[in-house]
Amino acid sequence: MNQSRREFLKTGFKTILATGFSIGVFETLRPEVLAALKKEEGLRWAFVVDTTKCIGCGMCVKACKLENEIPYDVNVTRTWVERYVMTKDGRIYADSPKGARDGFIKNDPMGVTVKKEDIDKGFFVPKLCNQCENPPCVQVCPVGATYQTADGIVLVDRTWCIGCGYCIMACPYGVRFFHPVYRVAEKCNFCYHRIKKDMKPACVDACSFGARLIGNIRDPWDSVSRIIKTERTAVLKEEFGTKPHVFYLGLDSIVR
């Protein structure tokens, strides 16, 4: 009796130690590093957005709409660029007119002209689907019309979507919308048709400033996965636990 109790305590102690240790290890590793460490063969797409390079020309948005047949004049878009301007009095101006389809050619954030001397900081932030590792949009689809492929891209089956809009509600990033023509859920898919043919997404190609990069996060030597691992990247709305796979350089706390 006594013996077995001691045994029990011993193993119990060991287990606690072991789990404690492993949890400790896991906590110090970011998921993307873990993924690479696991040395999994294969492919997991990831994106890097360098906001310090983005100048807000919106060429990416234009290219995306044309490439992916999103009606040009309808106010929805798979990718968009936001403008943030913070003035000295602490005011934050943020906007994205037409999703920046026509770029930003005027100094009029939210319709206000802000003087150069009043500005503390200002920058542009491109947005697109984060191809989350735990995509809540997929989780809530009642019929299995949206799903994630093995390489991490979230797609929508246009023949199966019933158009309930639950996924649109579930995405914390406002990425999804109803396609004006097909009337089913629509979203950025990193130009799946292009990346599967060894091309870059249309937005990446259209960007003359190198603000958008795509790569394989499971390949430790991939340039994008090097950036993610060696530089100070951040993801959007981490608190939702979605594990986004679009990593941002130069993100700021005022970014929504």
List interacting residues with ligand SF4 (CB under 6 A).
129-132, 135-137, 140-141, 143, 145-146, 154, 156, 161-167, 171, 173, 175-176, 184-185, 187, 242
Closer CB to ligand SF4, 108 or 133, in the complex: 133
Tokens, residue 89? 């009095």
Task: Decide: is 223 part of the binding site for another protein (CB under 8 A).
Answer: no
Tokens, residue 197? 């043919």
Minimum CB separation of residue 114 from ligand SF4 in Å reads 30
Out of another protein, ligand SF4, none, what residue 49 binds, judged by CB under 5 to 8 A for its kind, is none
Out of another protein, ligand SF4, none, what residue 180 binds, judged by CB under 5 to 8 A for its kind, is another protein
Among 18, 196, 223, 252, binds another protein (CB under 8 A): 196
Contacting another protein within 142-161 (CB under 8 A): 142-150, 155, 157-161
**How many residues appear in the chain?**
256
Query: Which candidate, 230, 136, 223, places its Cα nearest to that of 187?
Result: 136
Closer CB to ligand SF4, 87 or 189, in the complex: 189
Q: In this structure, how many other beta carbons lie within 10 angstroms of the beta carbon of residue 138?
A: 19
Strand locations in 57-162 (E): 80-87, 92-95, 119-127, 146-148, 154-156
Contacting another protein within 2-61 (CB under 8 A): 52-59
Among 38, 39, 106, 232, binds another protein (CB under 8 A): 106
Out of another protein, ligand SF4, none, what residue 131 binds, judged by CB under 5 to 8 A for its kind, is ligand SF4
Question: How many Å apart are CA 55 and CA 60, to the nearest integer?
Answer: 11
Judge whether 214 and 190 are in contact, CB under 8 Å: yes
Tokens, residue 225? 């996965």
Query: Which candidate, 142, 153, 143, 237, places its Cα nearest to that of 194?
Result: 153
Judge whether 67 and 189 are in contact, CB under 8 Å: no
Tokens, residue 62? 């234009």
Among 20, 163, 220, 231, binds another protein (CB under 8 A): 163
Closer CB to another protein, 25 or 143, in the complex: 143
Task: Decide: is 126 part of the binding site for another protein (CB under 8 A).
Answer: no
Out of another protein, ligand SF4, none, what residue 225 binds, judged by CB under 5 to 8 A for its kind, is none
Task: Decide: is 136 part of the binding site for another protein (CB under 8 A).
Answer: yes
Tokens, residue 236? 């959007």
Minimum CB separation of residue 80 from ligand SF4 in Å reads 13
Minimum CB separation of residue 18 from another protein in Å reads 27
Whose tokens are 């994630």? That residue is 148
Out of another protein, ligand SF4, none, what residue 130 binds, judged by CB under 5 to 8 A for its kind, is ligand SF4
Helical spans, DSSP H, in the chain:
2-28, 31-37, 59-67, 136-139, 166-170, 192-195, 202-206, 223-230
